[in-house]
Amino acid sequence: MPQLYDETASKKATNLSINSDLLLKARKFKINLSATLERALKDELRKAERNNWLKNNKKAINELNKLANNNGLFSDAYRDF
């Protein structure tokens, strides 16, 4: 699977706005905001890449499913279920 992004790239300072109460509570528990945001962005990027792949390959997936439904699978003779 291709890498989502360059994990060795340098860090870049940025400004963002978040709910003040959420920030206060996160700081109270010493939650690392940068690490938390990076994890959340990585998850969102993975979802977006997956959805994009499915969208770009929808026709091929449908054709392959139609072929399998019409002709069966090579492994059908070996299935126990």
Summarize pLDDT for 33-72 with one digit per residue, the tens. 999 999 999 999 999 999 999 999 999 999 999 999 999 8
Residue 35 belongs to some domain of the structure: yes
Q: Which residue has the higher pLDDT, 81 or 26?
A: 26
Split into its structural domains, the chain has a count of: 1
DSSP state of 64: H
* pTM for this entry: 0.75
Q: Which two tokens stand for residue 47?
A: 């979802």
Nearest alpha carbon to residue 53 among 61, 64, 65: 61
Residue 28 belongs to some domain of the structure: yes
Domain of residue 37: give its range: 20-72
